[in-house]
Amino acid sequence: MKLHEYQSKQIFAKHDIPIPPGRVATSPEEARAIAGELGGRVVIKSQVLVGGRGKAGGIRLAKNQREAEKLAREVLGMQIKGLPVRKILVDKAVGIETEIYFGITNDRTARKPVMIASAAGGIDIEEVAATTPEKIIRAHIDPLLGLQNYNILDLAIGIELPREHWRVFNQIAKGLWNAFQGSDATLAEINPLVITDDNQLLAVDGKMVIDDNALFRHPNITEMRDITTENESETEALKHGLTYIKLEGEIGCMVNGAGLAMATMDIIKHFGGEPANFLDIGGGANAEKVAMALRIILKDKNVKSILFNIFGGITRGDEVARGILKALEEIKPEIPMVIRLVGTNAEEGRELLANANMITAETLAQAAQKAVEASTRVIEEV
């Protein structure tokens, strides 16, 4: 789960990381009032969960209250990479001398969190890593011991931070680690951490991503979820214990298991089709779940045929068959459906579906070919 900049900075502030004074606004009038409270120049920053806000014109500098209102009106009406701007952060503007990148993420290979700093801050860190890897300084953190002072020192020396800033940098590093660990984050990032023209360290931007699997122990963070930025069908699916991801193709897929679901999408492509979605109905899927999955797939109007690939293990073939029958009764889809059932209770499942007007297949390859064929036939008829 991604957090907005303003949410991330609220968490940072709780952990003694200095941030510029500012507040969130949802209207130009509110932005004007906040600018008045802050006094002087302010930055109007769109709060959307995508990168590249600056380039898209979603971050603007206002000289006074009147300009703050005008720019807030412009930014609040924008769409950035398809996402409407509903909130803006109004921050006091600061004069910037130096921009530093500072973040923590998990290093899968080392199986440890890694703290990363770079003197080349303010821009896309992945690009810095690709073009000038020597400018990226890393310190791995032992997850059992936690962040140590010498880890922070290594980074400060590595980015040639002037000594006068070491004390505050140490405080910010510890705050960032506590924010990361205490929120079960998979990313906590300050980009940029700036040295201002009056020689202060300040986190002017912030980004956090929280581990979905750990949200159960962070109810306050779960409340921060911004569902307006998420795909409606994907959110609906999650509520029912299904993992659904919408894609651009025409063949809907319903599969049990993530690996098999990916392999099923791939084989559709292999035989010349395009998958319309990833959908994992999970283990032990019952009739209710299958019916819900079918409804979600059919909401996508690009879908021209559906492929069911169920390998029974925990999931039982007859249960899936009952779910399909129940869903068909309700929805009565007019597109061709191909089904392949193997494994636990597959025989019983196939018998149940014998009169359901579905195309059956023995192997996965056959099933994919038939689904691709069926989808093109429909297109020709149209």
Partner 1 sequence: MSIFVDKDTRLVVQGITGREGLFHTGQMLEYGTSVVAGTRPGKGGEWVLDGKVPVFDSVKIAVEATGANTSIIFVPARFASDAILEAADAGLQLIICLTEHIPVQDMMRVRNYLDQKAVRLIGPNCPGLLTPGEAKVGIIPGDIAIPGAIGVVSRSGTLTYEVLYALKQLGLGASTCVGIGGDPINGTNFIDALALFEGDPQTDKVVMIGEIGGTDEEKAADYISSQMTKPVVGFIAGKTAPPGKRMGHAGAIVEGGAGTAVGKIKALEDAGVVVASHPEEIAELLKN
Q: Which residues are catalytic?
A: 101, 189
- Scan residues 137-166 and list those touching partner 1 (CB under 8 A): 142-144
Nearer to partner 1, 217 or 332 (CB): 217
181 binds partner 1 (CB under 8 A): yes
How far is 149 from 161, CA to CA, in rounded Å? 15
Determine phi and psi for 292, rounding to 5 degrees: -60, -40
SS3 at position 186:
strand
168 binds partner 1 (CB under 8 A): no
Report the interhelical angle of 287-299 vs 232-239 (nearest 10°).
180
3 binds partner 1 (CB under 8 A): no
Task: Report the residue count for the chain.
Answer: 382
Q: Which stretch binds partner 1 (CB under 8 A): 62-70, 82-90, 103-111, 167-175?
A: 103-111
CB 172 within 8 A of CB 201: yes
Q: What burial class does residue 211 get, using C-beta atoms within 10 Å of its C-beta: 0-12 exposed, 13-18 middle, 19+ buried?
A: middle
Which of 43, 202, 268, 371 touches partner 1 by CB under 8 A? 268
Q: How many CB atoms lie within 10 A of CB 68?
A: 28
Which of 261, 306, 372, 374 touches partner 1 by CB under 8 A? 261
- In whole angstroms, the minimum distance from the beta carbon of 116 to partner 1 comes to 13
Which of 66, 270, 299, 377 touches partner 1 by CB under 8 A? 270
CB 86 within 8 A of CB 228: yes
What's the per-residue H, E or C state across 312-364?
ECCCCHHHHHHHHHHHHHHHCCCCCEEEEEEECCHHHHHHHCCCCCCEECCCH
245 binds partner 1 (CB under 8 A): yes
What's the per-residue H, E or C state across 110-176?
CCEEEEEEECCCCCCHHHHHHHCHHHEEEEECCCCCCCCHHHHHHHHHHCCCCHHHHHHHHHHHHHH
- Scan residues 195-214 and list those touching partner 1 (CB under 8 A): 211, 213-214
If we measure between CA atoms, which residue out of 65, 18, 59 comes closest to residue 41?
65
SS3 at position 28:
helix
285 binds partner 1 (CB under 8 A): no
- In whole angstroms, the minimum distance from the beta carbon of 312 to partner 1 comes to 7
Nearer to partner 1, 169 or 244 (CB): 244
Which of 73, 112, 174, 225 touches partner 1 by CB under 8 A? 112
Q: What burial class does residue 374 get, using C-beta atoms within 10 Å of its C-beta: 0-12 exposed, 13-18 middle, 19+ buried?
A: buried
Q: Which stretch binds partner 1 (CB under 8 A): 19-27, 85-93, 111-119, 285-293?
A: 111-119
Number of residues that bind partner 1 (CB under 8 A): 52
108 binds partner 1 (CB under 8 A): yes
Nearer to partner 1, 105 or 196 (CB): 105
169 binds partner 1 (CB under 8 A): no
At 41, list the tokens: 């120049």
Q: Using CB under 8 A as the criterion, what x/- string covers residues 286-325 for binding partner 1?
A: -------------------------xxxx-----------
- In whole angstroms, the minimum distance from the beta carbon of 14 to partner 1 comes to 19
Q: Which stretch binds partner 1 (CB under 8 A): 114-122, 181-189, 220-228, 325-333?
A: 181-189
* Chain residues in the site for partner 1 (CB under 8 A): 106, 108-109, 111-113, 126, 142-144, 181, 184, 186, 211, 213-214, 216-217, 243, 245, 247, 255-263, 265-270, 274-275, 278, 280, 283, 311-314, 342-344, 363-365, 368
